[in-house]
Structure 1
């Protein structure tokens, strides 16, 4: 079985991660990489974030009002995670906090931005290729993030978001498995089965972060089985196998991914989540579809992968396709087309 080779380069450390047939292959659309996944509301929020950088206090006030109107804690966390990738937003937030240091929402967004900004300094390069200056900036920004997010968690004990972002900062700051696990537990107490928090904890169990393959797979499987059938948490099993594959040497990685056990695990995860009649498409559902489509196509499960590519209708997410190509759209297109044959 010919598997697509992963690209060389970074180690993936950027903390930051009815059916029909055939229409994907014949689609007249060009596959697109859109961080909003076609959601006009998210597009507007990103425009407001850019306006906040350009317009200062007035721009931030408009964005803050939209964030404050979000009732669902998981939705708020997802939106903050998206808008805090906006370059320069940290300056606007510093000014807003100087004007109103008691505003917990501004402090939360500032802490989240510091986390994203820290990973921008570190980059996705392997540790040995990160300069001393990059490590210094990484540490300084994570330290500020920790201070701000812990203060928000104390002020607003019911909020999910600070505990989600504290998982990312804690891993980057090497605070240890017990600390990051406690933060994960705090997040899911506030929002059971919060998928994004589960993916952060999965990262913490990876070998590259001081865990092990056994620990990682055990966490992924136990999480899948503990969740209701039809839950997106079964995606963790796929992510764990992709992480394991990435950690292996050429040749060994292909043998691993094409093994009977891995293929069986991928099928089971598919049937318990995106392929289950009870699966509900929550906001950002395209992410799981992209992950399953890539993994299933790579192991030759074209029947299932075709279904997913069709449902996606050429909506590409950067993750996990960047593992295969610096151009995620190119990787998506190659595998999509290979499943049409």
Structure 2
């Protein structure tokens, strides 16, 4: 990530924002299994492995190729996990991101059918290799999609955390499960984010969960109540402390999820009118960002909202 002038439009495409992911998409699209094996073997951070897995899962039509590879190499976990991710993505595309009351019975039936297929593949991998991070990570997603409940989702996360205690992508998935929209509570969601932040080593991604849970809480409120929430002194302090331990710490290692983390910090401070606090995150982002939070601001498209708040932060912060 490099600084960009305030007049530049942001880049939201994850394959452009984090170019190594484009390689994963190309290899999956060209059905190059040996290339994919080498690609994943060269990744040295669990966050990047998870991002690459999700990128392959997003590759339209890759399920046919991945199923053939899984049949060809029945003892290998990677093809089954990638196929499972593709099935999860297809199922979620059918369901859409709408709240449950806006999803039809047919959509739910197809969604659950895809997730159950993915579950069978992941159960096999977890039984064979109990420390295989990608499989447990994806099972935190299927647990939520299949409505298996808070306890089962937490059990799956705990199995992963026993071997990979600061797996940020899995922490993000469990955080979603703990929010009220998935039958959780704000008390549970905030407690989990804070516990991950406190346990994390300096410079890791995990404290950025604090910014994400504050965004989730803000998005559940209306109008002035939402803005007032982000302006609370305790929310400000928790954001500053989390940023100091994660994305603004000297030991922080920029990567795919770092872009999203900086975005949530920049968003929260910007909406609260704290330009000085937002500025370092906008400087770190440059012209790259996560589109998601900016979509929630009324009356503006994401690019316009990002550009407006970046200009205010860099001009006055």
TM-score calculated relative to the size of structure 1: 0.84
> What is residue 244 of structure 1 aligned with on the other side?
217
Whole-angstrom distance in 1 between the partners of 2:43 and 2:197:
28
Superposed, 1:204-215 pairs within 5 Å as 204-215=177-188
Deviations 1:62-100 (Å, cap 9, x if unpaired)? 334433454554432221012211111112222333444
Deviations 1:36-74 (Å, cap 9, x if unpaired)? 35444322221122223xxxxxx3443344334545544
Structure 1 residues 208 and 103, CA gap change in structure 2 (3 angstroms): same
Alpha-carbon contact 2:197-2:209 (below 8 Å) kept: yes
Structure 1: 4+ residue segments shifted above 6 A = none
Residue of structure 2 aligned with 1:133, choices 92, 106, 116: 106
Q: Cα offset for 1:157?
A: 2.3
1:265 partnered with 2:244: no
Structure 2 runs not aligned, ≥5 long = none
> What is residue 15 of structure 2 aligned with on the other side?
36
Superposed, 1:237-316 pairs within 5 Å as 237-316=210-289
Residue of structure 2 aligned with 1:227, choices 200, 205, 212: 200
Whole-angstrom distance in 2 between the partners of 1:44 and 1:143:
29
Structure 1 residues 256 and 69, CA gap change in structure 2 (3 angstroms): closer
Partner SS, residue 110 of structure 1: helix
Higher helix share: 2
Deviations 1:124-145 (Å, cap 9, x if unpaired)? 1121211221111111011111
Structure 1 residues 247 and 118, CA gap change in structure 2 (3 angstroms): same
Alpha-carbon contact 1:37-1:286 (below 8 Å) kept: no
Compute the RMSD of aligned alpha carbons.
2.3
Whole-angstrom distance in 1 between the partners of 2:250 and 2:277:
14
Whole-angstrom distance in 2 between the partners of 1:213 and 1:294:
20
Structure 1 runs not aligned, ≥5 long = 1-19, 53-58
Partner SS, residue 296 of structure 2: coil
Superposed, 1:175-186 pairs within 5 Å as 175-186=148-159
Alpha-carbon contact 2:153-2:174 (below 8 Å) kept: yes
Structure 1 residues 255 and 27, CA gap change in structure 2 (3 angstroms): closer
> What is residue 331 of structure 1 aligned with on the other side?
305
Whole-angstrom distance in 2 between the partners of 1:171 and 1:69:
30
Whole-angstrom distance in 2 between the partners of 1:280 and 1:100:
35
Whole-angstrom distance in 2 between the partners of 1:128 and 1:100:
41
Deviations 1:172-219 (Å, cap 9, x if unpaired)? 101111111111111122212111111112112111111111111111
Q: Cα offset for 1:229?
A: 3.1
Whole-angstrom distance in 2 between the partners of 1:74 and 1:311:
19
TM-score calculated relative to the size of structure 2: 0.90
1:78 partnered with 2:51: yes
